Amino acid sequence: MNSMHALRIQSEFGAIALVGSGEYLPEMAQLESDLISDAVRRGRPGSYVQLATAAGQEGEKRLAYWRDLGASQGERIGVPTTFLPVFTRDHANDPDLAAQIANVGLIYLSGGSPHYLAQTLIGSRVGAAILQHVRSGGALAGCSAGAMVLGTTVPAFRLRGGAPIAGFNLLPGVQVIPHFSRLFEVALQAAPHSTEYLLGIDNLTALVRTSGAEAWRVVGEGNVHLLRGWPRQRIAAGADLEF
């Protein structure tokens, strides 16, 4: 089997973006606009939902930071945004909150603690709604912690002696390392070999697959790094990965 199939996504899925860093910043506005446009082409509304769940333990000031940053990006690209208060497992199992992401264009999982994000969302009502969203044509972006939970497992290189935990498994057999241009030393030394493939994404950089496409494209200011399971290489912005 061609090992590149680890990043093959079913054709009916919506757009997916794995972002190394920079959610809601002006440098990433074009990416977020393009993701929403992709969803609109699939019959979805031109809007996005912010899920700052990964920062759910960081206090109201930090959560307000994410809310305001995302709202500013929405104004910048001309789309309405909703900041969904899913900060605990109880929130994640609230059917009313889960229902609010049933008909949006883009769901964006922003940064914070990847393990807390996975433990809060995986297997919950909101987690199931996220999977249904992308499987039915909606766009999904994960930045930093949000990108990490889209793989099979979430690596534990930030937790000394910690074990990886289950992610959404949208990328079977893959672990994602964000901020790779800053964290590559610790990532390569400590990322556990619990999955077959390891993917590094630089700051202000994303690996994006639009709906219906087989290729993934690198966008932004840095590179994407194929680290384990593939022939090791660095792919620059503007290049496609053909599977």
What pLDDT does 229 receive? Answer: 80
Of 92, 190, 100, 109, nearest to 151 by C-alpha is 109
The Cα 121–Cα 167 span in angstroms is 9
- Which of the 8 DSSP states describes residue 38? H
The structure tokens listed for 178 are: 């964000």
What pLDDT does 181 receive? Answer: 78
CB-based contacts of 192, cutoff 8 Å, min separation 6: 155, 156, 157, 163, 164
What pLDDT does 184 receive? Answer: 58
CB-based contacts of 218, cutoff 8 Å, min separation 6: 205, 206, 207, 208, 224, 235, 236, 237, 238, 239, 240, 241
In the chain, alpha helices (H): 29-41, 60-77, 89-92, 95-99, 114-121, 125-135, 145-148, 180-190
What pLDDT does 164 receive? Answer: 78
CATH number at residue 45: 3.40.50.880
Report the length, in residues, of the chain: 243
Task: State if pTM tops 0.75.
Answer: yes
What pLDDT does 1 receive? Answer: 30
- For every one of its 243 residues, what pLDDT tens digit does the chain have, with 9 covering 90 and above? 344 556 777 768 999 999 999 999 999 999 999 999 999 999 999 999 999 999 999 999 999 999 999 999 999 999 999 999 999 999 999 999 999 998 899 999 999 999 999 999 999 999 999 999 999 999 999 999 999 999 999 877 655 556 778 999 999 888 899 999 776 555 555 555 556 788 999 999 999 999 888 889 999 999 999 888 878 889 999 999 865
| DSSP character string of 164-213 | PEE---SBTTEEEE-SHHHHHHHHHHHS-SSSSEEEEE-TTEEEEE-TT-
Domain count, the chain: 1
Residue 13's domain comprises 3-241
